[in-house]
């Protein structure tokens, strides 16, 4: 590399400042919410809390930890995520495998059926009517079934299968293994990486989703934790103030939203550093092929 010119060094300096700002602006809200969640009511109301907790106070955490509905909804989130991801993985894997077979007659049509839905969808109302009239309301299936295949994930998986060496499959075929056997015993063991990525894609998206639950579940005890948080920030509920005394109420009122945001975001923040690279590589694979 040639010796950098002076203006380029100036640029590098400015660039460093800009990127530092990007990092600060991205992280500050998290740090601030975390600080608020541990702060006292007076300091929060006075707008004194910035990076560190002021007037350390755990009352709201205690109240939320005692709220049975919060934990119930958290459990629902886990349940819905597991069920919906399992359904999605089975359907997506099967279809992606079929679509990856280049010799298959009608393959173009099968791909087209999936891809068209990326650009045109039925829309909210017909979907709502459909799910309602299928009697899926107030069950986990209202969340799992209508979102069972993400076409983007499907295309990522298809691309991966297409790039597997065919020799093993052909050998297995000659040995008399059925297509199902090949998929289960040859292809899937070779595809652990993409399967892991897809499980992550689906589970994060189901974990984070709220609208299907909000739309199709009527009872509070069926809600996932995202809807619990949504009701809280919309002021529809007071949160877990069932057992709170009067002097606790004002403290809870000051930071229950921060506390709930922290508790809801925590699992994602904990796994994020470890799973981030799978997302990046998955997205790039999808982009190359999709």
Partner 1 sequence: MSTSTTSAPPGTEDPPPARAAPRRRGDRTPARTGWRRALRRDWQLYSLAILPLLFFLVFRYLPMIGNVIAFRRFEPGGSIFGEEWVGLRYVRMFLSDPTFWQVFRNTLWIGGLTLLFCFPIPIVLALLLNEVRRRSLKRFVQSVSYLPHFLSIVIVAGITLQMLASDGPVNHVLGWFGHEPIRFIQEPEWFRTIYVGSEIWQTAGWGTILYLAALTTIDEDLYEAARIDGANRWQQIWHVTLPGIRPTMVTLLILNIGTFMAVGFEKVLLLYNPLTYPTADVISTYVYRAGVESNSFSYAAAIGLFEAIIGLVLITTANQLSRRTVGTSLW
Q: Which of residues 171-200 bind partner 1 (CB under 8 A)?
A: 178-180, 183, 190-194, 196-197
281 touching partner 1, by CB under 8 A: yes
Q: How many residues does the chain have?
A: 290
Closer residue to partner 1 in complex, CB, 121/220: 121
Closer residue to partner 1 in complex, CB, 60/209: 209
Determine which residue in the list 60, 76, 81, 257 makes contact with partner 1, applying CB under 8 A: 257
Stretch that binds partner 1, among 59-67, 156-164, 236-244, 245-253 (CB under 8 A): 156-164
Determine which residue in the list 63, 198, 222, 285 makes contact with partner 1, applying CB under 8 A: 285
**Smallest gap from residue 185 Cβ to partner 1 (A):** 14
Closer residue to partner 1 in complex, CB, 126/243: 126
Stretch that binds partner 1, among 56-64, 65-73, 221-229, 245-253 (CB under 8 A): 221-229
Determine which residue in the list 3, 6, 47, 246 makes contact with partner 1, applying CB under 8 A: 47
d(CA 10, CA 4): 10
Closer residue to partner 1 in complex, CB, 58/193: 193
164 touching partner 1, by CB under 8 A: yes
10 touching partner 1, by CB under 8 A: no
- Residues in contact with 43: Cβ distance below 8 Å, sequence separation at least 6, in sequence order: 49, 54, 55
Q: How does DSSP classify residue 186? A: I
**Smallest gap from residue 74 Cβ to partner 1 (A):** 13
Closer residue to partner 1 in complex, CB, 76/92: 92
17 touching partner 1, by CB under 8 A: no
Contact by Cβ (8 Å): 85, 145: no
């Amino acid at each position: 590399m040639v010796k950098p010119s002076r203006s380029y060094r100036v640029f590098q300096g400015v660039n460093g400042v800009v990127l530092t700002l990007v990092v600060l602006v991205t992280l500050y809200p998290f740090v601030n919410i975390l600080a608020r969640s541990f702060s006292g009511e007076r300091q929060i109301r006075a707008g004194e809390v910035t990076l560190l907790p002021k007037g350390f106070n755990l009352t709201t955490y205690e109240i939320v930890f005692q709220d049975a509905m919060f934990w119930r909804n958290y459990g629902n989130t886990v349940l819905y995520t597991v069920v919906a991801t399992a359904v999605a993985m089975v359907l997506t894997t099967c279809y992606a495998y079929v679509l990856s077979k280049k010799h298959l007659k009608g393959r173009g049509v099968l791909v087209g059926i999936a891809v068209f839905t990326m650009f045109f969808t039925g829309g909210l109302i017909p979907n709502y009517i459909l799910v309602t009239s299928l009697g899926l309301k107030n069950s986990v299936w209202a969340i799992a079934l209508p979102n069972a295949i993400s076409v983007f994930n499907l295309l990522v998986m298809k691309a991966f299968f297409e790039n597997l060496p065919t020799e093993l499959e052909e050998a297995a075929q000659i040995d008399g293994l059925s297509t199902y056997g090949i998929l289960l015993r040859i292809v899937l063991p070779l595809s652990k990486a993409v399967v892991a990525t897809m499980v992550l894609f689906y589970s994060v998206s189901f974990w984070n989703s709220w609208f299907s639950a909000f739309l199709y579940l009527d009872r509070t005890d069926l809600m996932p934790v995202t809807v619990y948080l949504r009701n809280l920030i919309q002021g529809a509920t007071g949160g877990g103030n069932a057992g709170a005394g009067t002097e606790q109420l004002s403290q809870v009122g000051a930071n229950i939203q921060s506390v709930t945001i922290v508790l809801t975001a925590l699992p994602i923040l904990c796994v994020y550093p470890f799973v981030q690279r799978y997302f990046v590589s998955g997205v790039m694979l999808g982009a190359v092929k999709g």
